[in-house]
Amino acid sequence: MEFSLEQLRELVTILNKTDITELTLESGDLRLSIRKSETKIAPTVALAAPVPMVSAPIPTAIDPVSSAPATHTTTIADALPAKKLIEITSPMVGTFYRSPAPDEPPFVEIGDTIKKGNTVCIIEAMKLMNEIETEAAGRIVEILVDNTQPVEYGQVLMRVEAI
């Protein structure tokens, strides 16, 4: 499989308009990984053996400012007056899960009232399930991550209106 520079740019532009944070394509000896960070999309290419890939150099970073930002649905937080919102952030890199098991209901929903110490989600890292507990009481006003989505260290997962 070969990629032209234009195809790579188009792929990065499309990914930048979605909530997808990481994409890996593999074909034969070619592996193309693209991962979003807060400010850049940095494509990296790893080869198992030398294979001609593109006829032009691959950009190391593309500024997402020129692309349209990803949209999200309206939440309770959008309609709130300027009240104190507490952000629940990911303490690690991993996979976000809203419920303790696939067939069980989510730990929290938008509008739920929580107490300090309540489990609000799980972050799976290296096959370990880490329960994330809230450090403050409040009401869930925004859930920013979809179930099974990869998350980064420090990424905001939810916003809570302090009680």
For the chain, 163 residues long, the average pLDDT of each consecutive 10-residue run is 71 76 74 65 43 42 45 45 82 96 95 95 94 94 95 95 89
Which residues have a Cβ under 8 Å from the Cβ of 26 and sit 6 or more positions away? 32
Could you say which DSSP state residue 141 is in? E
SS3 (DSSP) at 6:
helix
Residue 93 is predicted with a pLDDT of: 95
CB 84 within 8 A of CB 139: no
What are the extents of the domains in the chain? 5-66, 76-162
Which residues have a Cβ under 8 Å from the Cβ of 108 and sit 6 or more positions away? 98, 114, 118, 120, 121, 140, 143, 158
Pick the closest to residue 92 from 13, 51, 152, 159 (CA basis).
152
Fold of 76-162: OB fold (Dihydrolipoamide Acetyltransferase, E2P) (2.40.50)
